[in-house]
Each structure stands twice: as C-alpha cells, then as structure tokens.
Structure 1
Amino acid sequence: MAMVYRDFQGISLSGLGFGAMRLPVVNGNDAEINRDEAKKMVDRAMAAGINYYDTAFGYHDGNSEIVMGEALSKYSRDSYYIATKFPGYDLSNMPKVKEIFEEQLKKTGMEYFDFYLFHNVCEMNINQYLDPKYGIFDYLMEQKKNGRIKHLGFSCHGEYEVLKRFLDAYGEHMEFCQLQLNYLDWKFQKAEEKVKLLNDMNIPVWVMEPLRGGKLAKLDPLSEEELKALRPDEEIPAWAFRFLQSVKGVTMVLSGMSSMEQLDANLKTYSEDKPLNDKEMEGLMKVVDRMMSTKSVPCTACHYCVSHCPQGLDIPYLISLYNEHLYTAAAGGMTFIAPMALAAMDESKKPVSCLHCHSCEKVCPQQIKISDMMSDFVEKIG
C-alpha cells in the first residue's frame, strides 16, 4: 500500500503521523498501555511507510514516551522522526524545562528529538511561556543549537489572539505549528483564521484531532447520507482526512489510533491524495452547520481535566453522555442512553457531585465551561 508524503525542509515526511495519545490500554486504564499491541501497531505503521511519531510528557500518565521509545528502538534512528513536547499546560512545570527535557530523553532512550514543541500554548500559560525568567525559549534554542532538537515548533489550543501573540514573540524561530484542525473546528473554533495567519507567515501546519477525538468518525444518518451521495465509496472517517488534504499549508496530520483497525483504515485513506472539490466542500460545510446547531460540548477526551478534579469525576465520559443526550434530543430520538448510564453510576461520580471549583476549566484546552455544563446536565436528567 502506498503512502502520501509531504516535503518539509527537504525531509520527506509521511502525510499521516502516528499520534501516541490514545494508545491501546488495559482494562480501560489510561495509564496502563497495552505494550504488545502498541508495539504491533508501530511495526505495522513503519511497514506501511509512516515515519513520524508524536508523543508527549503527559500522555498516558507519562507512559507514552516510554512505550514509544521501546517500540521504535528496534529501528535504525534515521528511519523515523519522533516528536515530543514541553508540558507547559501545567504551570508548575515552567521552572523545570531542563529537568524535564533530560527526563524525556531518558524515558524515550533518545539522544535527540527530531521535533520538539511548546505544548498547548493557550490563554492559561501564554504569559509564562513568554516570561524570560523561566528561560524556556532560550533553553530550547540552545538544545537546537547543540543538535538535541532538530526542529522547534509549538502546539496551540488558544484563540487567534493568543496564537498571534506567541508568533509575534517567537514566530521567526518556529518551524511548524500544531493546531486542532478538522472540518468542524474550521468554523467552530475559527481554525480557518489561524491557518491563514500561519500561511501568511509561511509556517507549515501540523494537525491534531483530525477526527475530533472520534466525534467525526460517525455522523447523524442525514449527514452520512448526504456525504455518501457526494462520494459513494468514501468512508465517513475518511472525509475528515480528505478535508485536510484540501487545506493549504497542511504538512502533517496526526491521528491518535487505539486499534489496528483504526490504523489500517487511516493507512487506506492516506494511500492517496483525494482533496475535495468545490461541490464536496460545500456539502461538508452544510453538515458542519447542522452539527454546530446542536450546540454540543467540544470535548476531545484529552483527560487533562481528570487529574485536576478533586471529586475524581470522569469528566470526558460525562461530557460524552451529555453530548449524546443533546444530539439524540435534537434529532428527536429516544434519549435513554445517558439516563441509563447515569443510573448505573455511584452517586459520587455523577454530575451532581461537581463542586463547581473550576479547577478542571483551568487546564481544558477547549476552554469548556465544565461547571456550567455539569449544572445543565443535572437540570436536564439528574
């Protein structure tokens, strides 16, 4: 099976990157990666031509970097590119850039990182990222000079103003920017404006959440019918990738895959370039308008919120139930799934147990008003 490749500074990168945020786990425990299955997936990816692997300090409770290092260790170092990130989503890490960088090298077993990112530049941490007293930028530039970082970039979940502020400060040194980009967020999070800014500055776009945490893998029946009419042989998840193949400036598309089945489906899609034509793009945007009208909560199940909840609530799961309820109600369906799931929960794990302390909201990349959502959930179904 062929693989689509993109040029980046003379490097041939696979158009599809292997995201290590949602690796297969054991018994639903995000911290316990199924190492054997994850390594088989990496082997399959390498054999199929994927040469870019994206991990991060906090993924899978800190274990993603370890497992990815183990999985790639059998391959020659010049046969793949590995990316990881400085965890600035946690403000307590800001004074620890040297300590964390050295730990990441040790965890992965690498002597250098091909790509390294400021992780999750957003409203919560922009001041700290730009504050010279922490020395983050200077330290990372020094590592690049010393060859321990080959390419430096950043990921951004912030609004346009935050993105521009970061670029105004460091843009001339940033080689790529990783954005949450998919056909829903093209409008919902105004990603189109962010992409234009990056294009104007000639900064290549890396894509995260192309399927929005799986949300775009399956649509409502009407939307699926409309898209099938436009491309009868195209699977619904593939539309997300075809959209990205149509966006100027996109070099790398990362997909966090949890199973061999998901990997194989993405490999099939990325065996060829099939960007959307004008009619297909118009039809897809019609689907987006319908999705936005349901006013669902844009959670990607990154789980940053969970570790900050004093009640130990499984916030992404509760949001998924809330969204399911909203979607089903909007479509006139039978809204029994969420109430049934809540009825099976311990009282202490239900939305009613939310303390409205807002701790989770401070680390949410999507800037979701989680406390308000919990109140509305309680009001709707208890």
Structure 2
Amino acid sequence: MIYKEFQGKKLSALGLGAMRLPVVDGNNAMIDQAATEEMVAYAMEQGINYYDTAWGYHEGNSEIAIGKALGKYPRDSFYLASKFPGYDLSNMGKVEEIFEKQLEKCGVEYFDFYLFHNVCEMNIDGYLNPEYGIFDYLMEQKKNGRIKHLGFSTHGSLETMQRFLDAYGEYMEFCQIQLNYLDWDFQNAQTKVEMLDKKNIPVWVMEPVRGGKLASLAAEDEAILKNLREESIPAWAFRFLQTIPGVTMVLSGMSNLTQLQENIQTYTEEKPLNEEEWNALLGIADKMIQKTALPCTACRYCTGKCPKQLDIPYLISLYNEHRSTAVGFIAPMALAAVEQEKQPSACIGCRSCEAVCPQQIKISEAMADFAKKLQP
C-alpha cells in the first residue's frame, strides 16, 4: 500500500468509501453486514487505514455498519471520517444533535476527519450563516479533541467554492472534490485543484471512476490505452490521480470484495502517467463528453432574446452534467438555489433563443427534456 504524509500521519493513499457498501436484495438501506466486515478485514490486512462514511449514506445506516466493522480493531489502527449533512437544509439548526448521534452510531469518541458535507449553491448561505452556529460548533469540537481534522467536500461551482474558502479557508485542513479525467475540464476539477493549491489545502478525491462510468470504456478507447501501457481500465483512472500533485487521499466506494482487491493491487505502487498517456486519457474524456453534451460556448446571445430572462448557458451546463451521469444529484442541488421562474420548466418554447444561437442548439427541446428529467 502506498502511503501519503498528512500532518505527521501516514494515510493510505486509497481510502474505503462507505457510500456503496454491499447490500441485501438490492435494498440500499439494508447493508450486508457480513460482506462489509469481510471487506473491512481485507482492507485492514492490506494496509488501508482511512474509512469514509456520512450521515445520509445507505439511508442513514452506513455509519452504523462501518462503526460495527471497525469496532473489532484498536481505535488507533484506523482513521474514520464523517460529515455534517448540510445537503439537507432542515439539518442546519441541528449540528450538535447530529454530531452527537454520529459518534454514537459509529461507536467512537472522536472523528479523525470531519467535513462540511457537499458545499453547494443550495446550502452555502446556510453554512455561512452564523445563526446556525455550524462552524463555531465544529471548531469547538476540534478544540475539545472530538474532531482531529476539519475539512469540507464540494460539488459546487467555482464561485460557491470560493465563497466558502473566503469565509473559512484558513481553518480548512483538507477538501474533498469530484476529481477524475472526465471531470478535469467538464466539472472544472483542474481549476478547483489550483484553487486549493493556492490555499495550501490538500486534495481528497471522490468519484475517481465517476460512479463506475470510467471502469469500462468503448473498445476503440481501450485499444488506445492498451497500446500505451498494460493496465486495467479502472487502474487508468487511479494512475491519472497519482499524476496530480496535491492529491493526498483517493476514496473509492467499493461495493464488493473483488473491486476492493483490484484497487488495492493498483495501489501497491505509484505509476504516474507520462505526457502521452495523460493526453490520451483527456482525449478519451473529450469524446465521451461530446457524445452527450450540447456544444454551448456560453456566448450568451440567447439570454438577450429570452422573454423569461433565463440563464440559458448555466441551465445547459447543468443539463449536460445531468445527462452525463447516472446519479443525477448535482443539477437538482444547484437548481434548488434558483428561483422557480428561472428553472428549465419556465421555458415557454418560443425559440427566440434558437434564432441567434451560433451552435444551432435546439434549446427549447433541451429545456423541456431537462424539466422532464428533473421530475420526481
């Protein structure tokens, strides 16, 4: 196992994420405890010492399951991370209640790592609102030794991330972002890495294989990579991350023992990409995006013609993201911060925007489809 230095600690470069644990009969709320404990036992044996869970994973049962599995080992033999669930705005006034319950669910007296969960457009105002006292409470727990290291995760825009960093950046010890070769440009991951580097904040990675999307590729793309070096397709995604300075922790939500074994094998050695290999991966990412993404250049000719004054380039960017993933939670969270009259459903289909679009995008059809996809 490769290890990374972090404030005097040796962290396994690969961490086990507890968002996609094995389940019974496809029921996400019903974790297969025996299979989970088998995975944790293997991970511990092979040198993984970082385990990441959260309040909402597996409908509230992930913290319990991972706590039971880790409870078989000495407390100083692993690092445990959890998060304050600000993705649900009804939790904003419950930081103390939730934190105490999390410790109880995990069966521990402290968290080694604790995060503001998913800072995004929907919750940034709440996170920054001193009336909720979230920051003050978590800093107090850090002072009391119940949080060893405090950080944040984010799926938000660059602007939202900058707002959070401006407010609390000097107190953040690490940041967890969605980072992989598909999102290097598509989700502005490169710029986020650069922002964190300027603040000297180490990078924690989530979605290294994009929820499994990068675990297999089209045959022609696999052939391109095979001609460059002998690696499994998932391993290419991890080698990409090993090439980026500042990446300290890579979290993978492995849902069976085989995935765990394969990823641990990848992390027995560090094999960063050379320039040709790096460019090949980004070229493959471009092709993948072009297959689903509308070619909006954000020229904004359309916005001047829209009678509803919709921010069409922004909505298209969210539409493109929503179509690129099977998870589909980023766009709804971003749109939660957008007024109802500015949502995709507000488009009246007048096509005035399409008359001036240099890319000849059928915007009205895209907005109608987006609105349909967003329906529960």
Matched to 1:202, the amino acid is N
Unaligned 5+ residue runs, structure 2? 295-319, 346-365
Aligned in 2, Cα 1:55/1:217: closer, same or farther, shift over 3 Å?
same
Partner deviation per Cα, 1:206-227 (whole Å, 9 max, x = no partner): 0000000000000111111111
**Counterpart-to-counterpart distance in 2, 1:373 and 1:256:** 32
Contact 2:121 2:333 in 1 (8 A): no
**Which residue of structure 1 aligns with residue 369 of structure 2?**
375
**Which residue of structure 2 aligns with residue 128 of structure 1?**
126
**Which residue of structure 1 aligns with residue 253 of structure 2?**
256
**Counterpart-to-counterpart distance in 2, 1:39 and 1:222:** 38
Pairing 1:203-222 to 2, within 5 Å after superposition: 203-222=201-220
Taking only the aligned residue pairs, the percentage that are identical comes to: 62
**1:361, CA displacement in angstroms?**
1.6
Matched to 1:86, the amino acid is F
Partner deviation per Cα, 1:40-67 (whole Å, 9 max, x = no partner): 0000000000000000000000000000
Aligned in 2, Cα 1:93/1:289: closer, same or farther, shift over 3 Å?
same
**1:324, CA displacement in angstroms?**
10
Aligned in 2, Cα 1:110/1:139: closer, same or farther, shift over 3 Å?
same
Partner deviation per Cα, 1:258-289 (whole Å, 9 max, x = no partner): 01010001000000000001111111111111
Contact 1:360 1:370 in 2 (8 A): no
2:27 is the counterpart of 1:33: no
**Which residue of structure 1 aligns with residue 315 of structure 2?**
none
TM-score (norm 1): 0.79
Contact 1:16 1:253 in 2 (8 A): yes
Structure 2 SS opposite 1:143: helix
Aligned in 2, Cα 1:222/1:107: closer, same or farther, shift over 3 Å?
same
Structure 2 SS opposite 1:273: coil
Unaligned 5+ residue runs, structure 1? 298-318, 326-357
**Counterpart-to-counterpart distance in 1, 2:235 and 2:261:** 12
- Please point out which of 362, 367, 370 is paired with 2:333: 362
Pairing 1:38-117 to 2, within 5 Å after superposition: 38-117=36-115
**Counterpart-to-counterpart distance in 1, 2:325 and 2:57:** 26
**Which residue of structure 2 aligns with residue 198 of structure 1?**
196
Matched to 1:244, the amino acid is L
Contact 2:216 2:234 in 1 (8 A): yes
**Counterpart-to-counterpart distance in 1, 2:4 and 2:68:** 26
**1:292, CA displacement in angstroms?**
1.1
**Which residue of structure 1 aligns with residue 221 of structure 2?**
223
**Which residue of structure 1 aligns with residue 240 of structure 2?**
243
Contact 2:156 2:334 in 1 (8 A): no
**Counterpart-to-counterpart distance in 2, 1:188 and 1:378:** 23
**Which residue of structure 2 aligns with residue 291 of structure 1?**
288
Contact 2:120 2:334 in 1 (8 A): no
**Counterpart-to-counterpart distance in 1, 2:226 and 2:52:** 32
Structure 2 SS opposite 1:124: coil
Matched to 2:36, the amino acid is A
**Which residue of structure 2 aligns with residue 340 of structure 1?**
none
Aligned in 2, Cα 1:364/1:178: closer, same or farther, shift over 3 Å?
farther
**Counterpart-to-counterpart distance in 2, 1:244 and 1:181:** 8
Partner deviation per Cα, 1:291-338 (whole Å, 9 max, x = no partner): 1111269xxxxxxxxxxxxxxxxxxxxx9xx7699xxxxxxxxxxxxx
Contact 1:152 1:173 in 2 (8 A): yes
**1:362, CA displacement in angstroms?**
3.5
**Counterpart-to-counterpart distance in 2, 1:20 and 1:201:** 28
Pairing 1:147-158 to 2, within 5 Å after superposition: 147-158=145-156
What is the RMSD computed on CA atoms of the aligned residues? 2.7
Partner deviation per Cα, 1:129-178 (whole Å, 9 max, x = no partner): 00000000000000000000000000010011111110000000000000
2:160 is the counterpart of 1:189: no
- Please point out which of 262, 266, 271 is paired with 2:268: 271
**Counterpart-to-counterpart distance in 2, 1:61 and 1:283:** 39
**Counterpart-to-counterpart distance in 2, 1:12 and 1:215:** 30
**Which residue of structure 2 aligns with residue 143 of structure 1?**
141
